[in-house]
Structure 1
Amino acid sequence: MVRVRDEDWLVTQVSANSDGTLVTVQGLSELVRDTTAQFSAGIDHIEPVDPRRTRVVADTSTRHRLSRLWLEATLRKTALPAGSTEMAVVGDMLADPLPYQLTAVRQALDPANLRPRILLADTVGLGKTLEIGMILAELVRRGRGDRILVVTPRHVLEQMQHEMWSRFALPFVRLDSVGIQRVRRTIPATRNPFSVYHRAIISIDTLKSDRYLNHLRRQRWDAVVIDESHNVTNKGTLNNRLADILARQTNALILASATPHNGDPKSFAELIRLLEPTAVRADGSLDREAVRRLVIRRHRHSEEVRDVVGDRWKERLTPVNRLVAPSPAEDTVAGELSRSWLHRPDGAAAPSAPGGGTAGNGGNALFSWTLAKAFLSSPAALIQTIDERLARRPRADNLRILADSKLPQLFASQINRMG
């Protein structure tokens, strides 16, 4: 090991050049970890790190607490054999795993599989997030989970991050586009921003951007998790392109979806192809044995679930639909929406301003129905929709819209009554 430019490096090769010694190294310290570089003794000061110069310091902590902590950390970092079938960390997590959940973990880690790859397709409420966390924790314990990427929809980022940390002690850095740009500003231009944090959780909407493709194609992962994976099945979409890149760049791949099959065999086959390309034949048919090995699907009436959950799973009650008479305020706003925006008596287009629609009058008509949908949601949603629309337009255009439609003025007198 050597120290060059204030960073620690592992020497992988030493050769001679015209300037003296040329060393090929791999980064060890945080800023340069996993980075390969070469240093010439004629240019850089290469300082060998000699373990014989290590100075032993007495542990003065109470009951040798620091030494015991170091020994415990060392033991935890010592990887189990990759082919081990023992559940090493499941009993230490902050949750009570159910037998059917452990079945999913064992199937994912089965030594018979070339790589740990699985589609968790359990129905909603059976604990797919716990299964994901247990699989990742076991991979880490086996030394196969150093670099992990979790890709989820934006609305579950925080929840997933919290579950991984609070239940499994797996810290993930949550990144958005601003966070990634912040990382890029703090590292050399040649450094891959996705190599800085070993465990990251990022929304699929952020990662699918063209600006990150080259970086993702050059970054290897030990494990990748794609939650709500039914969103990546459509060939040719940005989501599918991202999933295809990540599937090629990782060893372990965990796909999770409560609705993996939308009725189109091609969509389901795409999920299987991401896990194992050879499981999808040239004619599009599936290797049934491979599917059985790659997919685990249970619902509340499955035998292994029913035996564990039993009567604790409450049956969903039959919905009861009741007509509720609208208030005068709701009638007033609904009437204005109909007369001025949805069904104008004179057949004219909905109120708008130049450049306002996404495609001329078609865009304006679409916004009319956006207003109607927001109104049916809640008064607050309708107010927010109008405020956001007005905020995107020049002031002069806003004044004309206000003159064309009575809807904004009606809010002043009616919205409090509706709320």
Structure 2
Amino acid sequence: MTTLEHDFQPGNLVRARGREWVVQTDSHRDWLRLRPLGGAEDETISLIPALELAPIEHATFDLPDPVLAGNHAAAVLLRDALRLTLRAGAGPFRSFGNIAVEPRGYQLVPLLMALRLSTVRLLIADDVGIGKTIEAGLIARELMDRGEIARLAVLCPPHLVEQWQAELETRFNLHAVALTASSAARVERELPNGVALFDHHPVVVVSLDYIKSERNREQFIATAPECIIVDEAHTCVSSGAGKQLRFELLQRLGRDEHRHLILLTATPHSGDEVAFYNLLTLLDQRFLALQGRMSASDPLRQELARHFVQRRRKDIAEWQAETEDGRGFARRMKTELTYELSGDWGNFFDAVQDYCRELAETAEREGVAASSGLMWYATLALLRCVASSPAAAVKALTTRLEGTQSEDDLLTDERLHDGAADDLSVNDLEPPAQVQDVSRLQDLIATAQRLSGQSGDPKLAALIQHVGQLHIDGYHPVVFCRYIATAHYVADQLKAKFPQATIEAITGEFTPEERRERVEVMGEADSRILVATDCLSEGINLQHLFTAVIHYDLAWNPTRHEQREGRVDRFGQQAPEVRCTMLYGQDNPIDGFVLKVILRKGEAIQKELGVMVPLPEDDARINQALVKAALMRRDHRAPAIMLQESFDFGEPERLLAPLQAQWQDALEKAKANRTVFAQRRIRPDEVLPEWHKQQQALGTQADVKRFLQSACVRLGSPLDSTRRANQARFTPQHLPEALRLRLADEGLDAVQLIDFAELHRSHPLVGLLAQHLLEDALGNTQPVAARCAATLTNDVEVATTLYLLRVRHQLSYVRRRESFQMMAEETVALAVRGRANPVWLADDQAARLIECTPSGNLPPEAVQREVCQALELLAANPQQLESLAQQRAEALLDDHKRVREAARDVGQYNVKPCLPVDVMGVYVLLPDSL
């Protein structure tokens, strides 16, 4: 850093505008960037010394006042507050002080890959549920906290916007603005005059639907942030007019060679070669040359491996077994549950089939193509709804299918299908199936209504029995249905059967925000059952509340099953086992065909490869095969265990043979890529010690819980216990007014239910309480947290003094030939054992001394005397503080070098201590002679 016109250096304490500040590294020759001493990052200001009414002066940090001594609990409270206010931690991972997640070792691999790239261009293609959002968020937060980027945009499908906004807020302490087709107008109205939207909001989550218009696209390209994350990136590179516009947008953004681009997808290669290599060209145009020659020894493929990471759950499990990196994923226990189309329900199904056959024969006799298309559609729609539930059957039979639709429209009607591999946000309304106004339809409707309920519906009866067993075994299931009517029908029946359980039905009738709220409300229930359509198979994570998945309706797309199960069985699931049940009719020909030809094939591929490969798209061929299967007659003479085997799917299976061949080809290509891009050579275990070291320095989850409980008690508003062991209620009404106002600014002005398993040090409640206590300790005459104390304890044998210190460091490094400078802070303990022949300690043993157990109290005058002696001892040995600061700088530089070597980072680092060291607390521990 060049010499400033003023003489203040980064890390100096100065006095300005009536308070003390710390000079930040981004100060310049004629202006200062200042953060208030004990204040938060968002209170940082910039000022020009020459324009200040009162001159800016050097300040000194006051030593603790013995008159204001407190007890040992108040001393521990100050230590915790000091650690929990640290954001710019001194360790090699700058972001760890600002994140509310504990990454597992394998999730550090993309971060380490990013650190070795001058411009981050990464394709993260990890399996569903491994944690791609966490991996991308870590990279973006790290770049931001290193000062390499100031702005971030996430581009994602519309149904993921709110999830991304919530993840950035809760896990990475980034306040993001959501831009969708519906919210953009409001956001733009709130902008200051003449300010561009993307200039005003540093972090945005942008719906790909919003960005597709020419006006929005051009505005975004003109002012796009330095770092862009693209979720579901495969949807931006495949064929189709809308997707082509997305691809052109990303191409233009990627032309800026300094722009960081992080692409996320669980399905990078779904058999579409052109789409796959389009995706790779977003990383580097040179990778297009790999098409047709992706050999393991090719240097260009080795270069691609620097930008592409793809791990299966199997890879992660093997990795964790080798490194003992914590607990792995839950075991996914799959089972199948069947029911028979027996009795009145079987007769009803046969009657519907007969009706559909008559429709088909009529269409063939008439020979009118449009009429034929309607009949095929009506057949599939009606039989699928009948297989779903009596309620869905009634809805289909009473909704007229108009003859104005073209055959192409019918083939692509998403109410009948389950969505393409790259678009799983499907309409969950029931498809229409009424094509004639005849009395026969009324008879079918009446029969369906009569058979509603457990006694008449064998599928529902099988579900109720299974849910009852899951309930006994302690599981919380999610029941996935295809249609809205089915979801409400199932939920109502379950409510009647399990009145003690909390049961919700969530469908596409609700907005994404309403869906999320309804899910979260279920968290307080001891027993919960969620019934949902596939509106929840993407966008809302369910792993923190549910432990089982039931496919009440089979999906016609195996990717859909994986998405459903992936909502529950994913990173963050605490249960050791997740149960997944597939429910189908033993003698339902559509269930049998979908099971045999589509789902079984998908399962076999997933078992062989470790991930799902999507079924190739061909609606016309799939429809034709399904209709032929749907009209097959059941063999009533076949024994129950042989019912599905009694169907001869020869003709419809032959229709799908070309798709099966494409599917197998996609599998082989995906297998070839797995061997190179699993990134097993990058060893996160080499840097995990640095993560654990930073975690201890910044405060663990246990520290957060202890601090919050103690702080609330001492501030006059103790937490209220709840029925759940790890939860409590926080009531802000009795807190000091200044603190209440600050909490209200963060939306924390009402009673809060706190889950200690989820509460992290970066949560606003924790940060504001710690900030308040620290400021109170530094400026109040009756502080709640104590900067000095003297304590009797049996945990020491001789008089021992503990000095709690705050050490600031100036961290500088070079990347892309550009120099970056940052401030780093850490809390360090220095202890001295004995007084006649003092022994100085500056290691973990010193830090642990404050956690001693007090055994008695001293008179106030004795406490003051002991603290005064401790201050005199420190004044007589100033070299101890300077020596400790230098040792810490050297140790931190070593930590940075280890991470740099593990990542093969392209940067150069230097760490320099900022003197003098701040003495935050002085605590004397005296042996209890009793």
**Fold shared by both chains (TM-score > 0.5):** yes
Matched, 1:276 2:287: no
CA distance in 2, matches of 1:59, 1:339: 86
Match of 2:246 in 1: 242
**Percentage of pairs with the same residue:** 26
Identify which of 104, 115, 123 aligns with 1:109: 115
Matched, 1:121 2:130: no
Q: Is the Cα–Cα contact under 8 Å of residues 394 and 449 in structure 2 kept in the other structure?
A: no
Query: CA deviation digits over 1:210-232, x for unaligned, max 9?
Result: 66433344342222222222333
User: Where does structure 1 lack aligned partners over 5 or more consecutive residues?
Assistant: 1-55, 351-358
Q: Which has the higher contact order (CA 8 A, sep 6+)?
A: 2
CA distance in 1, matches of 2:193, 2:436: 48
Query: CA deviation digits over 1:168-191, x for unaligned, max 9?
Result: 111222332111233455669997
Match of 1:347 in 2: 361
SS at 1:178 equivalent: coil
CA distance in 2, matches of 1:384, 1:252: 50
Match of 2:103 in 1: 97
Query: CA deviation digits over 1:32-89, x for unaligned, max 9?
Result: xxxxxxxxxxxxxxxxxxxxxxxx75459xxxx975325675499x999xxx993111
Identify which of 227, 233, 236 aligns with 1:232: 236
Cα distance change of structure 1 residues 344 and 103 upon mapping to structure 2, 3 Å threshold = same
Cα distance change of structure 1 residues 285 and 253 upon mapping to structure 2, 3 Å threshold = farther
Match of 1:259 in 2: 267
CA distance in 1, matches of 2:198, 2:446: 50
Identify which of 308, 318, 322 aligns with 1:295: 308
Identify which of 333, 353, 361 aligns with 1:338: 353
Match of 1:220 in 2: 224
More deviation, 170-179/259-268: 259-268
Shift of 1:295: 0.3
Match of 1:139 in 2: 143
Q: How does 1:6-405 map to 2 (within 5 A)?
A: 57-58=17-18, 68-70=38-40, 73-74=43-44, 86-90=92-96, 92-110=98-116, 113-184=117-188, 195=199, 197-208=201-212, 212-249=216-253, 251-281=259-289, 285=293, 287-302=300-315, 303-307=318-322, 308=324, 312-317=328-333, 319-326=334-341, 328=343, 330-331=345-346, 334-340=349-355, 342-344=356-358, 347-349=361-363, 361-362=372-373, 365-379=376-390, 403=438, 405=441
Shift of 1:247: 4.4
User: Where does structure 2 lack aligned partners over 5 or more consecutive residues?
Assistant: 1-15, 21-34, 46-84, 295-299, 365-369, 405-431, 458-489, 491-930
Amino acid at match of 2:131: G
CA distance in 2, matches of 1:389, 1:115: 56
CA distance in 2, matches of 1:92, 1:189: 32
Shift of 1:242: 0.9
CA distance in 2, matches of 1:146, 1:360: 59
Shift of 1:268: 2.4
Q: TM-score, normalised by structure 1?
A: 0.65
More deviation, 208-217/266-275: 208-217
CA distance in 2, matches of 1:97, 1:346: 57
Cα distance change of structure 1 residues 266 and 198 upon mapping to structure 2, 3 Å threshold = same
Shift of 1:200: 2.2
Cα distance change of structure 1 residues 85 and 225 upon mapping to structure 2, 3 Å threshold = farther
SS at 1:365 equivalent: helix
Shift of 1:349: 4.6
Cα distance change of structure 1 residues 150 and 367 upon mapping to structure 2, 3 Å threshold = farther
Q: Is the Cα–Cα contact under 8 Å of residues 85 and 106 in structure 1 kept in the other structure?
A: no
Number of matched residues?
342
Q: Is the Cα–Cα contact under 8 Å of residues 375 and 381 in structure 1 kept in the other structure?
A: yes
CA distance in 2, matches of 1:398, 1:370: 6
Cα distance change of structure 1 residues 114 and 382 upon mapping to structure 2, 3 Å threshold = farther
Q: Is the Cα–Cα contact under 8 Å of residues 300 and 306 in structure 1 kept in the other structure?
A: no
Shift of 1:147: 2.9
Cα distance change of structure 1 residues 198 and 325 upon mapping to structure 2, 3 Å threshold = same
CA distance in 2, matches of 1:229, 1:280: 17
CA distance in 2, matches of 1:127, 1:402: 52
Amino acid at match of 1:414: L
More deviation, 408-417/254-263: 408-417
Q: Is the Cα–Cα contact under 8 Å of residues 126 and 309 in structure 2 kept in the other structure?
A: yes
Match of 1:17 in 2: none
Cα distance change of structure 1 residues 106 and 399 upon mapping to structure 2, 3 Å threshold = closer
Q: Is the Cα–Cα contact under 8 Å of residues 233 and 268 in structure 1 kept in the other structure?
A: yes
Shift of 1:236: 4.7
Match of 1:415 in 2: 452
SS at 1:293 equivalent: coil
SS at 2:306 equivalent: helix
Amino acid at match of 1:178: S
Q: Is the Cα–Cα contact under 8 Å of residues 98 and 173 in structure 2 kept in the other structure?
A: no
SS at 1:344 equivalent: helix
CA distance in 1, matches of 2:215, 2:387: 38
Amino acid at match of 1:176: T
Q: Is the Cα–Cα contact under 8 Å of residues 230 and 259 in structure 1 kept in the other structure?
A: yes
Q: Is the Cα–Cα contact under 8 Å of residues 165 and 172 in structure 1 kept in the other structure?
A: yes
Query: CA deviation digits over 1:328-347, x for unaligned, max 9?
Result: 5643553454234x322672
CA distance in 1, matches of 2:433, 2:313: 53
Shift of 1:120: 0.9
Cα distance change of structure 1 residues 323 and 199 upon mapping to structure 2, 3 Å threshold = same
Match of 1:7 in 2: none
Shift of 1:105: 0.6
